[in-house]
Structure 1
């Protein structure tokens, strides 16, 4: 049965996955390297695509097949490359920022495997065309700073080598405590804020909708362990119970061997709300199984570090439709969407990825030898024509971090110039030289407001608590791929005002018209009391009738106790009324006796 299902799923996805040999071959036989000229260069190591041999991979759903290999496009990461180009063009167009200096860039694809990545990194130090350890063979193209991400693993093994040479390294992926060890990564700066309030925000959402029976899928690493510990603590404090916990291995593809067990766990659980914490690579197979096989009408609460473009398929319904996503708040970057709309192979002829995308999606003629398209394309084609679930035009968190990282480097360079740090120039328009370690004192003190009006601080000790946007994933009909903002969580706001939510805007899972419930046991009616189910969580109980001469004093959130009926205690108003009546009666009778006495006196002679 499982094998038949895999064959059917594969057959349904062939139209999406097949790509012509001529265009895909370019990404395999050519080392993707994108260069923008400038006399100060920022280098980015960004995995824009990955290549796998067919007989060594099991992640066949998310790739484009091609003979003995397949190519997986990582379009969310490719947006990071566009964000880097956009920020540098924006800075270079400002005459008051970095005068007499032009920023350039080198973008290098990160291949699968640590060995090949480090080989490319050594080549970057030696100069284009060289890869000799501890030797610099060319003056041009030497990086001032290096951007790495979004995976913490990429940043870690690149950072180990960069730290030897004291090259400034800025990571744009999610914050990771492993990378914050100063003794091991003294030259590394994490642009992303630390998730100090994420668990508080998630639990606040649970309490808002009265959900107290929750399932958890958590990445199985140090960060996942910390999140699980924080969630347990915050949930217990607020009376929210955990239905099940499933730790997901971070090894690529390893989840496939246990997926059916987890599917049964989801189907059998009475928890209608499930929290998923992790990134795209670690939760790859989990989300694929949820989207393709589990139409369970659950509510998924997620962090934003997953790439929806990887999980495309031919099913009309999407199990993740209606998911609620916690995303770091970011200001709108003016003109970024317009920049993406105008990005095409004719504007950036060096970018092979744009040529391949245009050939694959817009039916352009393609020259196999040069790996470039020619005419006969769809008129006015742009990345905006791609489905929203394949390429998101809205700036992602990682792209926003890239944007901030470029501005942090540029601001530090500007401060270096103002402080008269010595630069060595090789003539007009030539590269300007200085030692990369000279940038560190200025990067550590970086505190600036970027063009979006957002504060950029690289020192984690000086960062304030991050604010979250709550997004609702709309993907019905399939391919819509919209993440609509429906609320915010501000940890610094006054108590009772931290969570702001527009519930009427939320689209729930397909088939649900009302706010779903997720409780282990329904509240007891009047005349019944809660009896805890032995061996189960505190949220699980039975409702038993109250004994004779007793009534239940509990509410939906009250304790599981009952109290005997007692004589009612008169209220203050009743006591005052009784007192008034007594006083009036006494006055009435006293007056009556007085009147009768006078009458008798008058009748006597």
Structure 2
């Protein structure tokens, strides 16, 4: 019942309020936020969001009165410099007759206090304006601001762009790097002059790849910046074969137990390189515990969010952070900025309450007439107006390292150039439907977004500024090295550059001679889970470990690897074999029966001795050919038998030496023919002896006439001719050829004669066997 009553009262109130507005014909602002800011009137207003204070104080709540709005403390000099740079850029544009002539730019800049709620309030104030009433029944008209420079935080930029993007309010951030903001569907009007985390991660991976650091630890902050960067980093490092040794998240509440757990993991890990994606505020507790635990021997890799932060440049951290490598956004120079910063004075800009707070912080004085207590201290001094910034060095007046500040300068000029192009549009040549231009009296934010997407200009420092289809700027980073200075503190030295080119991709250039390493000896550290596998081995991943942790196994026989960290060994071609180191394929040793080998020498000797012995017997037979013994032994067949035996002995020489085509053709044929000639002679001699014995018997007296000299010669020739025909058919159809055989011994080539036709060779042997069986 009470809930229903509440709804009714709420609707009634809104109806009455709406009716009053309609009756009066005016639009009324529904509320105001108490915000620190600085303002300048102009024909066109640019908005700005900066982290001028980094501590938000919430007053005590009371249920009797409306809560007091939170307020900001802890003034940040560098962020205030960025806010003043926006004012300087707008002042410079107003003096430039070639850019937005006859149009005066103004600005509304608010402090977001590094607090999402405060940043959101400031953004809503910029988008809706601060006028309490204006007479327009439709609540339309020129927008309070045509574009916003900021916010520097990724988390705040995501929240602000999600709402203001619905109305296509152009936002150009100078420091929000979350890669998620490149999603054009979610954030259609978001741009930035700093590269996204995707480019930052690729630049850091290039450093790891350059030094061969494949085993790294990862620490990141518990915010959008750290989480998205860590996710993308884990994807990118795998592309070049790197691995994450551990991954730890920095708690947003700085819980001591969680911090101690992280330092324990870092100390226990074998990884010598630790990559950190974090803002300085998240990192301070971790560094305190690193000092407490005395964790040395680590190579820190800093993301751009803390690489240049002065918070860590103290002598206390020197032993631990010196040698740190980091990347930083492009450093630039802005002519005239230093003089502009020094000329500022609260009396010259009474609307700039940021400047008043800065002045009071700087000189300990107050513009209040009373001596009320401020920031817990009694203010005793009243500002005299004689205070001079030239006498005091502060980060505010230091323009030697303009990085985020330089991006603010580029962001302001990007909005100015886009608005200039919009104003220069000629009717009938416009980019919108019907070739129309934007209505300059009733400008729509989406029209400026169109021109902002096509911005293309060069700064006075020589840097080209344009945006890709996702609203991201051209990626270029300085590589920094934290080195000890003479006074015992840490100094930052630029040692290289990483540049993203459309054609070349990410290119890293380093001056290695300028690097300082926090190791003994002073040389590049190693950070790998397993040392590289040399040529001749292959990697074998350890079960249950990342791919960077592996064992090196030697390649098998006949396999090689000629590169470092080969995943597989390559099998050598058929005629090659692996060398002793298994890193090259060398020609296999060719093996054949040579005259130099013991077996070859033995066979040659036996062949020559047998040939000589046959020749000697032949000479003896020739000298005694008329003797009864020789004549009774059938001298003609005996000479044929001795000749065939000599050929049998000599054909053995054809089987010795490197096979040639002619030796392969002859060795089997000569052996087969000479052996058949020998057996045929023996067979005929045997048949003659049998015929002689048979002729002594009455029934066999006519047998001998069939074994005359002519018949004996013809029988030997016919039997031998058959073998010649077999050999001729075999050699003409499928003759033996030289052949390199890899089947017997894998590591060697056996050079032999392939028999060609198995049937032909078998027929040759079968015929020899048949004659031999007949002789028996």
Partners of 1:497 and 1:170 in 2: how far apart?
24
| Structure 1 equivalent of residue 84 of structure 2 | 82
What's the CA shift for 1:42? 0.8
- 8 Å CA contact 2:184–2:470 kept in 1: the answer is no
- 8 Å CA contact 1:217–1:245 kept in 2: the answer is yes
Shift of the 474–136 alpha-carbon distance from structure 1 to 2, 3 Å rule, reads farther
- 8 Å CA contact 2:82–2:405 kept in 1: the answer is yes
What's the CA shift for 1:276? 1.2
| Structure 2 equivalent of residue 308 of structure 1 | 309
Q: In the TM superposition, what are the counterparts of 1:401-550 in structure 2 within 5 Å?
A: 401-419=407-425, 434-437=442-445, 438-461=447-470, 466-474=475-483, 476=485, 482-492=491-501, 498-509=507-518, 513-522=522-531, 534-540=543-549
Question: In the alignment, which of 367, 376, 383 is matched to residue 373 of structure 1?
Answer: 383
Q: Does 1:299 align with 2:299?
A: yes
| Structure 2 equivalent of residue 193 of structure 1 | 195
What's the CA shift for 1:274? 1.0
Question: In the alignment, which of 550, 554, 565 is matched to residue 580 of structure 2?
Answer: 565
TM-score calculated relative to the size of structure 1: 0.69
- 8 Å CA contact 1:127–1:136 kept in 2: the answer is no
- 8 Å CA contact 1:216–1:242 kept in 2: the answer is yes
| Structure 2 equivalent of residue 204 of structure 1 | 206
- 8 Å CA contact 1:159–1:169 kept in 2: the answer is yes
What's the CA shift for 1:161? 4.0
Rg (Cα) greater in structure? 2
Partners of 1:138 and 1:160 in 2: how far apart?
22
| Structure 2 equivalent of residue 429 of structure 1 | none
Which structure 1 segments of 5+ residues have no match? 1-28, 57-67, 422-431, 573-605
- 8 Å CA contact 1:216–1:275 kept in 2: the answer is yes
Structure 2 residue matching 1:315: 3-state secondary structure: helix
Partners of 1:568 and 1:273 in 2: how far apart?
32
Question: In the alignment, which of 90, 105, 108 is matched to residue 106 of structure 1?
Answer: 108
| Structure 2 equivalent of residue 235 of structure 1 | 237
| Structure 1 equivalent of residue 674 of structure 2 | none
Which structure 2 segments of 5+ residues have no match? 1-32, 61-69, 375-381, 428-439, 571-577, 588-776
- 8 Å CA contact 1:365–1:375 kept in 2: the answer is no
Partners of 1:198 and 1:169 in 2: how far apart?
21
Q: In the TM superposition, what are the counterparts of 1:132-147 in structure 2 within 5 Å?
A: 142-147=144-149
What's the CA shift for 1:246? 1.6
What's the CA shift for 1:81? 0.6
Shift of the 264–331 alpha-carbon distance from structure 1 to 2, 3 Å rule, reads same
Greater relative CO, 1 or 2 (CA 8 Å, sep 6+): 1
Structure 2 residue matching 1:85: 3-state secondary structure: helix
What's the CA shift for 1:263? 0.6
Q: Does 1:275 align with 2:275?
A: yes
Partners of 2:579 and 2:540 in 1: how far apart?
17
Partners of 2:331 and 2:171 in 1: how far apart?
22
Shift of the 540–168 alpha-carbon distance from structure 1 to 2, 3 Å rule, reads closer
TM-score calculated relative to the size of structure 2: 0.55
- 8 Å CA contact 2:560–2:584 kept in 1: the answer is no
Partners of 1:392 and 1:568 in 2: how far apart?
58
Partners of 2:125 and 2:473 in 1: how far apart?
38
- 8 Å CA contact 1:214–1:243 kept in 2: the answer is yes
Structure 2 residue matching 1:327: 3-state secondary structure: strand
Partners of 1:436 and 1:493 in 2: how far apart?
33
Shift of the 512–569 alpha-carbon distance from structure 1 to 2, 3 Å rule, reads closer
What's the CA shift for 1:376? 6.8
Partners of 2:218 and 2:582 in 1: how far apart?
48
- 8 Å CA contact 2:181–2:190 kept in 1: the answer is yes
Partners of 1:314 and 1:131 in 2: how far apart?
56
Provide Cα deviations, 1:472-521, integer angstroms capped at 9, x if missing partner: 23354678554322112234388799321101111233876322222334
Question: In the alignment, which of 41, 46, 50 is matched to residue 42 of structure 1?
Answer: 46
Partners of 1:570 and 1:415 in 2: how far apart?
67
Alpha-carbon RMSD across the aligned residues, in angstroms, is 4.8
Partners of 2:138 and 2:313 in 1: how far apart?
44
Q: Does 1:334 align with 2:325?
A: no
What's the CA shift for 1:325? 1.5
Structure 2 residue matching 1:274: 3-state secondary structure: strand
Partners of 1:254 and 1:453 in 2: how far apart?
42
Shift of the 230–554 alpha-carbon distance from structure 1 to 2, 3 Å rule, reads farther
Structure 1 residue matching 2:501: 3-state secondary structure: coil
Partners of 1:225 and 1:398 in 2: how far apart?
22
What's the CA shift for 1:49? 0.3
What's the CA shift for 1:236? 3.7
What's the CA shift for 1:459? 4.4
Partners of 1:567 and 1:69 in 2: how far apart?
72
Q: In the TM superposition, what are the counterparts of 1:117-128 in structure 2 within 5 Å?
A: 117-124=119-126, 127-128=129-130
- Equivalent pairs, count: 515
Partners of 2:140 and 2:482 in 1: how far apart?
48
Partners of 1:82 and 1:402 in 2: how far apart?
10
Shift of the 50–95 alpha-carbon distance from structure 1 to 2, 3 Å rule, reads same
- 8 Å CA contact 1:128–1:141 kept in 2: the answer is no
- 8 Å CA contact 1:127–1:140 kept in 2: the answer is no
Shift of the 566–104 alpha-carbon distance from structure 1 to 2, 3 Å rule, reads closer
Shift of the 178–73 alpha-carbon distance from structure 1 to 2, 3 Å rule, reads same
Partners of 1:33 and 1:107 in 2: how far apart?
5
Partners of 2:460 and 2:235 in 1: how far apart?
39
| Structure 2 equivalent of residue 170 of structure 1 | 172
